[in-house]
Amino acid sequence: MTVFALLIFLAGTTSFVLSFLICLFGTRFLIQFLLRRKMTVLDYHKPERPQIPRPAGPAIFGGIVAGEILLFFFSSSYAILALALVTLISGIVGIVDDLATLGGLAKPLLLLIGGIPMVAIQYLAPGASVYSSRLYLPLFSHPTYLPILYPLLVIIAIPVTTNTINTIDVLNGVMSGTLLIAFVPVTVAIIIRIYLGLSSIWILLATLPLIASLLSFYFFFHRYPSKIFPGDSGALALGGAYGAIAIIGGVEIVAIIAILPAILNSFLFLSSVKKLVEHRQVSVQPTILLQDSRMVASTDRKAPVTLVRLLVSTGPQSEREITRNIFKLDAYCAGLALITALLIWVIPLAK
């Protein structure tokens, strides 16, 4: 085994374990802390209506940022530093939202700050390769070079991904489960790019702290029945990290397709309410909760259209059934994202 391979193995393992453990023990600590402080919210979709602590965000982004900083010391890759900064800024905006509830417009505007570290590092150190300004498109072997447009897209991408991931945080485990499924095609696409010499192995390692935190959070705390909710701080930090990985990995289109259920949910909601508002500000709810805690679609014409409302349109479903159906849609879109990766990097080369 060469020294470089040993370094890669050591960096990958330690960052994964560190992120996993910080998220695990940090969330355990937060549950006790939040319960003591009575910082809890009602879980409406359970018959016993339990009070669930919120937010778990600090433990989630604490784990990711610690893992990424460790990787930065191993690699000296500015792309990884940018990823850590984006996650941290998105998480801090999320904490402000959890504590003070930002408006529908204030939140995306504040999240614009999240994209700035990537553009700033790329501008200050052009050799840092945070992003390449080259967009790879399906069926074309040569990428499109976008020197002016790409940095603007980077700035816009962070508020878009963070808010999109935040809007899919509707039921127990859905947000973290959706991201875990989305990471399958994203990771495969990054591996293909490394094989073709278009990306660095460090970018693949940069996905590990995210996957570790997600695995720890989903399987121990967030899946049905949830022990803690991620809150805006958790959802925004994970969304920011996902957007940053898509950009530094050069797998933008694959990452978009992989979270299509979340994007469509966000689009359906915004296009039906026709303005930037928070879910809690909507007067007519998209679903009606029955006595047995199952959900059925609201027949009110003014009710916003959401993915959950469409899923329960033909009959009432329990929270667990709806979550399972959303995961089926996630898996389908992950398959479409894998096909997209083949169309972008494998088929043009085979021609």
Beta carbon nearer to another protein, 201 or 288: 288
Q: Where are the beta strands (DSSP E) in 111-228?
A: 134-135, 144-145
CB nearer to another protein: pick between 220 and 224: 224
Place of tokens 């300004």: 133
Number of residues that bind another protein (CB under 8 A): 43
Least distance CB 332 / another protein (angstroms): 6
The terminus-to-terminus CA distance of the chain in angstroms comes to: 36
Binding-site member from 264, 276, 282, 347 for another protein (CB under 8 A):
264
- Cβ-based neighbours of 326, under 8 Å, separated by 6 or more: 168, 171, 174, 177, 178, 261, 307, 308, 311
Residue recorded with tokens 């023990």: 25
Binding status of residue 147 toward another protein by CB under 8 A: no
Q: Is 283 in the site for another protein (CB under 8 A)?
A: no
Q: Rule CB under 8 A: say whether 305 interacts with another protein.
A: yes
Q: Which stretch binds another protein (CB under 8 A): 58-66, 109-117, 121-129, 296-304?
A: 296-304
Whichever of 51 and 313 has its CB closer to another protein, that residue is 313
Q: Are 304 and 286 in contact (CB under 8 A)?
A: yes
Binding track, positions 101-140, relative to another protein; x by CB under 8 A: ----------------------------------x-xxxx
**Residue closer to another protein (CB basis): 90 or 317:** 317
299 binds another protein (CB under 8 A): yes
Determine what percent of the chain falls in helix, strand and coil, rounding each to the nearest 5: 70, 5, 25
- By C-beta, is 101 or 271 nearer to another protein? 271
Q: d(Cα 115, Cα 157) in Å, to the nearest integer? A: 7
Spell out a b/e string for 29-50, using b for 16 or more CB atoms within 10 Å of the CB, else e: ebbeebeeeebbeebebeeeee
Pairing state between β 144-145 and 134-135:
antiparallel
Binding window for another protein (CB under 8 A); candidates: 1-9, 30-38, 214-222, 317-325: 317-325
What are 264's two structure tokens? 């469509």
Determine which residue in the list 36, 301, 350, 351 makes contact with another protein, applying CB under 8 A: 301
Applying CB under 8 A, the residues found at the interface with another protein are: 135, 137-140, 144-146, 149, 253, 256-257, 260-261, 263-264, 267-268, 271-272, 297, 299, 301, 305, 307, 309-317, 321, 325, 328-329, 332-333, 336, 340, 343
